């Protein structure tokens, strides 16, 4: 009997996280730096004024260097905060990475509070988390659907970019109707653009 899509996703999620967890910390840091340098070289990033990013947890791509660069470049940095009822994410403007963040659900650093941005059309560039990706932009997240709900509302010319280690790239990901692909995936070994380029 064929596995249903949810089971396939669970198995793939478990497999990729296990592989990612095996990366030594120093290797993960070096790969994250290489990926960050590629992302900040994209035209879409250079032209962006408002950037939505996230703070990593576990063995994810380390976002610290990227978010610091966003602030150093004088761009507006938005970070997500999980709502108390876990129904979705609120986006907050962050200017201080030291005092402006606190440990939230699952230990993920998130904004203490501050200005909340409700107009998603203001965002020019979105750094999207995920567990696994395929070259056509398909994304496997952690199962909560939080970013799919954000991406479906993004401005059509806003870039959605995933940063991932090459071990997170797979041939195909089973998609459902509410799964939203990203515009590009940037790894230490290559770049995958869903529509050929990011302008």
**Torsional class of 88: left (φ above 0), alpha (ψ -120 to 50), beta (otherwise):** left
Query: Could you give the dihedral angle defined by the CA atoms of residues 84, 89, 90 and 94, in that order, rounded to the nearest 10 degrees?
Result: 110
Question: Quick count: other Cβ atoms within 10 Å of Cβ 137?
Answer: 19
pLDDT in tens, 128-180: 999 999 999 999 998 888 888 888 888 999 999 999 999 999 999 988 878 89
The tens digit of pLDDT for each residue in 28-73 reads 999 999 999 999 999 999 999 999 999 999 999 999 999 999 999 9
Domain ranges of the chain: 5-193
The enclosing H or E element of 192 equals: strand 191-193
The Cα–Cα gap between 175 and 179 comes to: 6
5-193 CATH, one of 3.40.50.10420, 1.10.287.1080, 3.40.50.300, 3.40.50.720: 3.40.50.10420
Predicted structure pTM score: 0.92
């Amino acid at each position: 009997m064929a596995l249903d899509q949810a089971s396939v996703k669970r198995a793939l999620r478990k497999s990729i996280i296990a592989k990612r967890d095996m990366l030594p910390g120093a290797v993960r840091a070096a790969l994250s730096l290489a990926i960050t340098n590629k992302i900040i070289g994209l035209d879409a990033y250079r032209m962006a004024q408002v950037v939505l990013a996230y703070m990593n947890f576990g063995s994810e791509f380390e976002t610290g260097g990227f978010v610091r660069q966003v602030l150093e470049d004088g761009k507006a940095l938005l970070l997500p905060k999980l709502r108390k009822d876990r129904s979705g994410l609120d986006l907050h403007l962050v200017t201080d990475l030291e005092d402006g963040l606190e440990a939230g659900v699952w230990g993920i650093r998130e904004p203490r509070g501050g200005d909340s941005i409700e107009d998603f059309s203001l965002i020019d560039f979105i750094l999207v988390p995920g567990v696994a990706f395929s070259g056509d932009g398909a994304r496997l997240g952690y199962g909560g659907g939080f970013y799919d709900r954000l991406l479906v509302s993004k401005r059509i010319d806003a870039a959605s970019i995933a940063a991932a280690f090459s071990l997170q790239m797979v041939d195909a990901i089973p998609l459902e109707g509410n799964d939203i692909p990203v515009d590009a995936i940037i790894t230490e070994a290559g770049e995958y653009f869903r529509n050929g380029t990011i302008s």
